[in-house]
Amino acid sequence: MFEIIWHHIIGALTASWQVLLDASIFILFGFIIAALIRAFISSEQIVKYMGGNNFRSVFYAALFGVPLPLCSCGVVPTAMALRKQGASRSATLSFLISTPESSIDSIALTYALIDLPMTIFRPIAAFITGFVAGIAEIIFGIREEVKKASDVICPHCETENPPTPPLIKGGDEGFEQHIHGIKDRLRSGMHFAFVELLTDISRWFLAGMLIAGAITYTVPPSFVENYLGQGWLSMLIMLAVGLPLYVCATASTPIAAALLLKGMSPGAALVFLLTGPATNAASFTVLIKMLGLRTAIIYIISIAVCAVLLGMGINQFYTLMGIDLQASLGHAHEMIPLWLKWATAVPLTLIMILAAIRKR
């Protein structure tokens, strides 16, 4: 009996390692891009464009949120800070949705484990969902007086032993603008990506890899095809699973890829990729306190409706284009030499394990 159990454990772990091996170099690339975004995109500019309670602010909030490397556990305090710095309720809501649903590292991982159409459609779907929610808040939400942003905290001065750059008073918004050199910016960006961000997502990412391996090894294709294949039922099931689940965009990707390999429809996968990272029971209570019950209801309804409709849309796209997703799944990693996969997967795994221990 023990030998059978051990055999299955080894089989699931082997499948998990294969997923990580295929994805590691793309994850590393995503972290590097995340560091560059942190280093060279100004927080002052983000707040400046998110301050109004109008279509323009909602558009920019959704657009800014798509590439930002913040998971569901990190986006709530970030959104709270932006809100305090002058972002409108509608722009904050839009940012809260588009940011966890998509990030530069999860986009790279989607290309590695799924395919190019899903890689393109996923950030577009995140933007649409965030934009729709923001517009719904403008129409149905509580009216508010828009405040100007002030007291913006420079992200490059939050690391240990920060430099003391000169300050320039000025700007119509009253910002104190910091002057940082390339070296300071890159240092803070790398610290954010490979220390703060990696620590935040390491436990959830490793758990996602283990779940993906377990699904790959144990779940029969017939089960997925019968319950998660084409149609509304599969998307409603994934909606029910994704809404209360606490999983970041990066960790949800290997789980979706494993289910797609077993026969799940692209639409059901997209529903999970949108709802899993954006919503969970814990952050929903914080959202009620931060933005109010009416906005929280708009938040949930917007995500659920957009996820299902966009899921139906991507199903139609794959059908019309004649794309067999199971046949094209994960072909990006085939271009990577085996030695390079091992050279990135081993240190990345060790670093994530250490980061997970450190966070605990």
Read off the pLDDT of residues 251-307 as tens digits, 9 standing for 90 and up. 788 888 888 888 888 999 999 999 888 876 666 776 787 788 898 899 999 999 999
- Residue 82 burial (CB count, 10 A): 25
Domains in the chain, number: 1
d(CA 149, CA 171): 11
**The pair of three-digit structure tokens given for residue 139, joined into one six-digit string:** 């129409």
What's the pLDDT at 72?
Answer: 60
d(CA 288, CA 163): 38
**The pair of three-digit structure tokens given for residue 117, joined into one six-digit string:** 């159409």
What's the pLDDT at 167?
Answer: 41
Give the rounded percent of residues in the chain with a pLDDT score beyond 70: 75
Distances (CA, A) of 187 to 201, 247, 347: 20, 28, 20
What's the pLDDT at 44?
Answer: 65
Mean pLDDT of 222-238: 76
282 φ, ψ (degrees, to nearest 5): -70, -50
What's the pLDDT at 81?
Answer: 60
Mean pLDDT score across all residues of the chain: 78
Q: Which residues contact 8 (CB under 8 A, 6 or more apart)?
A: 217, 218
d(CA 152, CA 65): 18
Quote the DSSP letter at residue 148.
Answer: P
In a 13 Å sphere around the CA of 148, the CA atoms on its Cβ side amount to 6
pLDDT tens digit string along 86-144? 678 888 899 888 988 888 888 888 888 888 899 999 999 999 999 999 999 999 987 76
Evaluate if residue 171 carries a pLDDT over 50.
no
Helix %, strand %, coil % for the chain, to 5? 75, 0, 20
How big is the chain, counted in residues?
Answer: 360
Give the rounded percent of residues in the chain with a pLDDT score beyond 90: 16
d(CA 50, CA 36): 21
d(CA 224, CA 19): 19
Beta-bridge partners for 176:
169
Q: Concatenated DSSP letters for 167-198?
A: EEE--TT--EEE---HHHHHHHHHHIIIIIIH
Q: Which of 26-30, 68-72, 161-165, 197-201 comes out lowest in average pLDDT?
A: 161-165
User: What is the span of the domain harbouring residue 226?
Assistant: 2-359
d(CA 125, CA 307): 8
Quote the DSSP letter at residue 322.
Answer: T
Mean pLDDT of 184-194: 84
Quote the DSSP letter at residue 330.
Answer: T
**The pair of three-digit structure tokens given for residue 199, joined into one six-digit string:** 């620590």
Provide the CA 112 distance to its chain's centre, in angstroms.
Answer: 15
d(CA 108, CA 118): 11
Distances (CA, A) of 284 to 135, 238, 260: 20, 19, 28
